[in-house]
Amino acid sequence: MKNLKRGISMLLAVLLVLAAINGLALAEATEAPFSLGNADAGEGTDYALDRMVVLSRHNIRSPLSGSGSLLGDIIPHEWFQWTSNPGELSLRGAMLETRMGQYFRLWLEKEGLFVENYRPGDGAVRFYANAKQRTQATARYFSAGLLPVAVVPVEMRAEYDTMDPVFNPVLTYISDAYIQAVQDQIAEKGGVAGMKGIHAGLMDAIELLMDVTDMEQSEAYKAGTYGDLLADDSTVILEQGKEASMTGPIKTATSVADALTFQFYEMADDRAAAFGHDLTLEDWRKLHTIVDTYTDMLFGTPLIAVNVAHPLLQEIRGELTREGCQFSFLCGHDSNLASVLSALGVEAYTLPDTVEQHTPIGAKLTFSRWVDGNGGACWKVELIYQSTDQLRSLAELSLDNPPVHYPLHFDGVAENEDGMIAEADLLALLDSAIAAYDALETQYGADAALAPAA
């Protein structure tokens, strides 16, 4: 009996020691700062998340035009019954954006930037959006998911339903030499054939779009109201104080493809979303290359980008170093993401798990600041977006079912072994892109708006 008691006592002692060791290991794992080495290769340097700046595209909206417009005339079918007025955030977009905010809350709590049920003090967070309904609403729904027990004001600097100059991608500098240089840059995208080459590269996608929508059966298309999408020429228009724009088949096809993509997101029935046609995910990607190409031409062309993104680049630069601010959220449009990334010299990329391969709906361009054990700071730049499946299924996002994180890289900018950019290098990149605007007049002559009348 004594031996039995002694054995039980020894076993209990061993179990207590093991429990203590396991408890210590668990505590150390819980308290340890984030290690990029666990996820992104490299040497496994430990980092703590210190700050985040987000440039967001609004979430799902209704088409920009309503009944009686091009969209209502150019196809013989009835579109999805949108849950919002033209150009406004849809009900699905609101739900998706809230879920994205909830994911960011879980993520930032995990990384220690926010405590649970964080209620920020003055200046600790900032929300600022363009004055359009879809951008203001996106910021508010995201904030509801991110900070569910805090009241967060969303800045609106311009009159409601107008374009705030910070987010308005208009050409504020123009000259004859500049216009020619921009036209040349755009034409290069089509090779030796120029604009005709761009159109030729989209021909398969445009033919698919016409087939899916039965466009040629509409009375308006038969009458030639909107021209010939296969044969007409497209023209880019560059004017002082306006967005770069386009006339011709690429613009017309973009309007239809844009609406069709949002219909695909909104409808659970794949076949109904394609007006009775059977499309693969690759077909949907092909259709959206029309929109991707249009956006790239008008906002991603480098000489346009440094012009139209100038005020937003300055805003982002200020947020990266804003004293006392932990989290900044700026909300605009695909044109904003495209122009900012191009102006910064982003390396070419094609996004996975989405039919929108450059600036997906609701995408977040994130700049996250990480501090190592020695106090050194570096930044990680990513696009974070809901996959097409997550958008269509209204998937709940969590640390186990996150949105897509896609790291971005920039021409000529060095990264450490963990894929991060030194703080000085990131700020220098912003400064260079901002300075490129001021250099336009030196290179291409006096701004036409400021030049004396002839």
Measured between alpha carbons, how far is 134 from 340 in angstroms, rounded to an integer?
20
Per the document, the length of the chain is 454
The beta-strand segments (E) located in 315-454 are 327-332, 364-372, 377-385, 404-407, 421-422
Reduced to 3 DSSP states, what percent helix, strand and coil does the chain have, rounded to the nearest 5? Answer: 45, 15, 40
Q: Write out the two tokens for 105.
A: 């809350």
Best CA proximity match to 386, nearest among 361, 408, 365: 361
Measured between alpha carbons, how far is 232 from 149 in angstroms, rounded to an integer?
55
For 190, the 3-state DSSP assignment is coil
- Whether 154 contacts 147, CB under 8 Å: no
Pairing of β 34-35 and β 327-332 = unpaired
Q: Write out the two tokens for 295.
A: 């956006």
DSSP secondary structure code for residue 120 in this structure: -
Between the alpha carbon of residue 273 and those of residues 221, 276, 292, the distances in Å are 21, 7, 20
Measured between alpha carbons, how far is 162 from 257 in angstroms, rounded to an integer?
25
Best CA proximity match to 99, nearest among 357, 362, 383: 362
Measured between alpha carbons, how far is 109 from 254 in angstroms, rounded to an integer?
40
334 a catalytic residue:
yes
Catalytic position from the list 164, 258, 334, 418: 334
Measured between alpha carbons, how far is 160 from 124 in angstroms, rounded to an integer?
25
58 a catalytic residue:
yes
Measured between alpha carbons, how far is 173 from 179 in angstroms, rounded to an integer?
10
For 34-40, which contacts have Cβ atoms below 8 Å and span 24 or more sequence positions? 34/111, 34/112, 34/370, 36/370, 36/418, 36/419, 36/420, 37/418, 40/407, 40/418, 40/419
Catalytic position from the list 58, 199, 288, 358: 58
Which amino acid is it at 122? D
Between the alpha carbon of residue 378 and those of residues 34, 46, 126, 373, the distances in Å are 14, 12, 21, 12
Pairing of β 46-57 and β 327-332 = parallel
Catalytic residue numbers read: 58, 334
